[in-house]
Structure 1
Amino acid sequence: MSRSERRDQQVARILDAAKTCFVRSGFQGASMQQICSEVGMSPGALYRYFPSKEAIIEAITEADRRRDAEVFSLLTQGGDVVDGFVAAAMAHIRYMHDSGNAPLFAEIRAESMRNDSIDFACKMSMKDVDASFRSFLQAGIDRGEIDPCAELGTILPVMVAFGEGLAINDLPAQGVSLDRLETVIRAIAIAVLRPTGRAATLQSEPHAKP
């Protein structure tokens, strides 16, 4: 492997070890020494990669930001706004369930409420996602495809809070089937976004005036 590949491999090992420690002991309870023991690395070696636990959390949230960007790319692949929203939501739910990251997400979110640097890292990781989501919904409004029940300034934080709740609770792990969960999410999306049916009309009547 190249030096860059070896570094990436070491970083991944450290992040995996840190996630285990944060879930087991909490952010406050987990020490850098515990992370060193978990990963099998000396403190001196670990500090060459990450100078603090906050730096580790920043790396974790940055990785999540990149993954979320991939998930939210599904927004524009659906047949309409509701389809795109449901596809992205279900992809996020499946990832959180399959990865088992719900406890870690809960721990990071809790720490962000008392640690300014963690709060900043979380907000920065969501910045691009929020912008993509806003642009996606605004485009649907501009096309006349949806008529949301409230302004985007209200809908966006509500949807984010809704998504965080789903991520933390990992409902599939509690026995809620993905099919039924998708049915409920679609019903909520329809109720909030209020599709007008205009997109289907314009597709069937291409010469109709907007």
Structure 2
Amino acid sequence: MARVSQEHLDARRRQILDGAALCFARNGFHATSMQDVLKEVDLSAGAVYRYFSGKDELIGAIVTEVLDEVSATFEEAARQSPPPPPDLLVGQVLEQVLGARPALVDDGALALPRLVVQVWTETLRDAELAAILLRGYDKVRAVWVRVVEAYQDAGMMPADVPAESVARTMIALAQGFVAQMALFGATPAGVAQEGLRGLMSMGEPSSRS
């Protein structure tokens, strides 16, 4: 029997993850069965269960993968001296994460933002998923703190502002933008970038005679 290549195995795993993400985004975790996933990816039960034991493992894998992508983007930024300014960096992350998988476009609307909001809701009742999300968040937050510290070392940001506070605020901005997309429709990541640039450009009010 011919040996299956790693490339084929990786492509099949990608197919299953993307198909499951679309199903979850459309109907939610609880209304989606493994049969729905099998139908979406057009594979046998044996082929899918070779990679994932069930819905919970699929959800955990999707969450971990997205958080790893965000973390990797900021790891790369943290290695630059100095890193790109916050408006460019947040815009780059949103574009990379939201545009990373064309397969997650469903009926003209991005499925990933809807899926993210569902994950947040699910963590309120699923302790295991909450633990996965927390580990990923802590990893991302630590990298963002390093980026902020690099801004401060370069004199781009006041040193008397806690780096942790700035990092959490930047994360909240990205999360809020994703939530807006999930609730109100797809919006270019450049909107968040422009808005943040506008806030960063504020100065003291000009005096008027």
Aligned counterpart, 2:173? 162
1:67 alignment partner, SS class: helix
1:69-106: CA deviations, max 9, x gaps? 3422453487855x432222111232355452211222
Aligned counterpart, 2:94? 93
Normalising by structure 2, what TM-score? 0.74
Aligned counterpart, 2:61? 59
Cα separation, 2, equivalents of 1:53 and 1:74: 32
> CA, structure 1 residues 97+131, in 2 after alignment: closer, same or farther (shift >3 Å)?
closer
1:30 alignment partner, SS class: coil
Cα separation, 2, equivalents of 1:109 and 1:164: 11
2:164 alignment partner, SS class: helix
The code of the aligned residue for 2:119 comes to I
Aligned: 1:123 with 2:134: yes
Correspondence 1:33-182 to 2 at 5 A = 33-73=35-75, 75-76=77-78, 80=82, 83-98=84-99, 99=101, 100=110, 101-147=112-158, 150-170=161-181, 178=190, 181-182=192-193
C-alpha displacement of 1:38: 1.4
C-alpha displacement of 1:150: 4.3
Unaligned runs of 5+ in 2: 102-109, 203-209
Aligned counterpart, 1:183? 194
C-alpha displacement of 1:9: 1.5
Cα separation, 2, equivalents of 1:123 and 1:18: 22
> CA, structure 1 residues 149+163, in 2 after alignment: closer, same or farther (shift >3 Å)?
farther
Unaligned runs of 5+ in 1: 192-210
The code of the aligned residue for 2:7 comes to E
1:53-77: CA deviations, max 9, x gaps? 1211222123213321342245348
Cα separation, 2, equivalents of 1:109 and 1:177: 21
Cα separation, 2, equivalents of 1:69 and 1:175: 22
Question: Superposition RMSD on alpha carbons, in Å?
Answer: 3.0
The code of the aligned residue for 2:8 comes to R
1:12-53: CA deviations, max 9, x gaps? 111111011101110111111211121122323322211121
> CA, structure 1 residues 2+85, in 2 after alignment: closer, same or farther (shift >3 Å)?
farther
Aligned counterpart, 1:19? 21
The code of the aligned residue for 1:50 comes to F
C-alpha displacement of 1:108: 1.6
8 A Cα contact 1:78 1:84, kept in partner = no
In the comparison of the two structures, how many residue pairs are matched? 189
Normalising by structure 1, what TM-score? 0.74
2:50 alignment partner, SS class: helix
> CA, structure 1 residues 25+175, in 2 after alignment: closer, same or farther (shift >3 Å)?
closer
Cα separation, 2, equivalents of 1:148 and 1:161: 21
8 A Cα contact 2:17 2:62, kept in partner = yes
Q: Which structure has greater helix proportion?
A: 1
8 A Cα contact 1:97 1:173, kept in partner = no
